[in-house]
Chains A and B, each alone.
Chain A
Amino acid sequence: MPDLHFLANPARFRRFSQRVLPALSFATVLALAVGLYMALVQAPPDYQQGQTVRIMFIHVPSAWLAMAGYGLLAVLGASLLVWRHPLAALMARATAPVGAVFAAVCLLTGSLWGRPMWGTYWVWDARLTSMLLLFFLYLGHIALSRAYDNSDRGDRAAAILALVGVINLPIIKFSVDWWNTLHQPASVMKLGGPSIHPTILVPLLWMAASLTLLFVLLVLLRTDTEIDRRRLELADLQA
């Protein structure tokens, strides 16, 4: 990835992010406003589920982003351990809480949706349980990266954990699948095209795109903050 290497230098990353952030914030707000209008007003209510189907427009993208966020953590962990990429550690620190919040939003909205649809807030179902375990893995990553006085040590330990976790995640997923399942199977990403009507699918994909923008925006902002924090620590040491 030669294109990304020029961002390895925190000062250069800072110049890049300062240029990108205003436009990105504007795009995120605009996309979310349009997406929420499409999802909450324009999209028709489901003939079975009524208005509660609108929870899906937050729930499903949150689940995707929570999973993608853990993938990003693993990539950042690998680039920290293999190339000693100095920015990867800061970005992993910035990403983990954002991913954890998306996992929590997915669990909360799912639970609120489950109450009217399944008649219960929580079942020990495969998908629910594996999302909960993903949330726990995020918590472990956050706790481990902040558990050391020497933050470099915490970053590297968390990077190893992210890599082991990403290997283990499919195993956890399949073991839990086999253990118990009630959640509906995938209906957007499957062979032979999605089985959702376009009036629902278009707002869903739009919301997924705008929440992805929000994810990227939050990660960039938090990475900037991490760079500031690290500089303050260094200034403290030098003083």
Chain B
Amino acid sequence: MTGFAVLVLRDLRLVWRRPGDVAVVLAFFVVATTLFPLGIGPETNLLARLAAGVLWCAALFASLLSLDRLFASDYDDGVLDLLLLAPWPLELAALAKCAAHWIVTGLPLAVLAPLLGVAFGLDAKSLLVLAATLAVGTPTLSLIGGLAASLTLGARRGGALLALLALPLCIPTLIFGASAVETSVSGEGFGVHLAILTALALVSLATLPWAMAAALRQGGE
């Protein structure tokens, strides 16, 4: 377990030394959501209905943005080779990379989204639901994105390919995340959606590290 913590802390320290990388992703999230009211028009009722979908889609794109460097920088400077050689499960190493990615993108997105939700006219309860769904849903996005990043390691046109692979797999998370907020806006219960979102996160947590490690082994050979 200490190895896991060491890897997460190492990634966090790397990000801490260059905070601009995270700031750019969050700025993208803010700017992208700002475009929707400008494109659709400033009617408050319409915006409140669209808020869930817009904020969730923007969060999905933002978390994809930073993924192409998730394993690529380790691949370039040889750290990945050491992780492959280390007497330590590669599955845990992959999980640690995803955990660090979630801490620096998913968590800030979940904190930032309610602030933007206010601008879309969401009520107080729906803002909390939005933050909760993002907090529960973004780990799934980080894991799926991590799988796509490990599959496209060293590929031509890696970035666009990564999005093509990850986006269809992210659909269930998007559907249940956005519909939880929507049902909360229309005053119905959102518990089922939140429970399914949690289930998706747990299933991804239990399965995807293996797929990621397999992909990294193929890439490292």
Contact = CB atoms under 8 A, between A and B. Distances in A.
B191 to A, nearest CB: 15
A144 B152 contact: yes
Q: Which of B175, B179, B208, B218 has the most CB of A within 10 A?
A: B218
Contact of B175 (A149, A154, A167, A175): A175
A172 B171 CA distance: 7
A147 to B, nearest CB: 4
Interface of B is mostly: helix
B169 interface: yes
Interface string A179-219: 10000000000000000000000000000000000000000
Interface in A111-167: 133, 136-137, 139-140, 143-144, 147-149, 153-154, 156-157, 160-161, 163-165, 167
Given A139-B164, A157-B218, A171-B200, A147 B172 contact: no
A176 interface: yes
B175 A144 contact: no
- The interface size bin for chain B is 20 to 34
Given A144-B155, A147-B156, A176-B171, A160 B211 contact: yes
B47 to A, nearest CB: 21
Contacts of A148: 154-156
A147 B167 CA distance: 18
B70 to A, nearest CB: 15
B41 interface: no
Contacts of A176: 171, 175
A167 B172 CA distance: 13
B214 A81 contact: yes
A161 B161 CA distance: 12
A147 B215 CA distance: 14
Contacts of B121: none
Contact of A164 (B171, B179, B211): B211
A140 B164 contact: yes
B168 A157 contact: no
Nearest to B215: A160
A162 B215 CA distance: 12
A190 to B, nearest CB: 25
A164 B200 CA distance: 14
B72 to A, nearest CB: 14
A160 B207 CA distance: 12
Contacts of A143: 161, 164
B165 interface: yes
Nearest to A142: B164
B152 A147 contact: yes
B219 A153 contact: yes
Contacts of B179: 179
B214 to A, nearest CB: 6
Contacts of A157: 151-152, 155, 215, 218-219
B151 A175 contact: no
Given A136-B167, A147-B152, 5 more contacts: A157-B155, A157-B215, A164-B169, A172-B171, A179-B175
Interface of A: 81, 133, 136-137, 139-140, 143-144, 147-149, 153-154, 156-157, 160-161, 163-165, 167-168, 171-172, 175-176, 178-179
Interface of B: 147, 151-152, 154-158, 161, 164-165, 167-169, 171-172, 175-176, 179, 200, 207-208, 211, 214-215, 218-219, 221
The 9 lowest CB-CB distance pairs between A and B, nearest first, are A147-B155, A175-B172, A156-B218, A136-B168, A140-B165, A157-B151, A175-B175, A133-B168, A140-B164
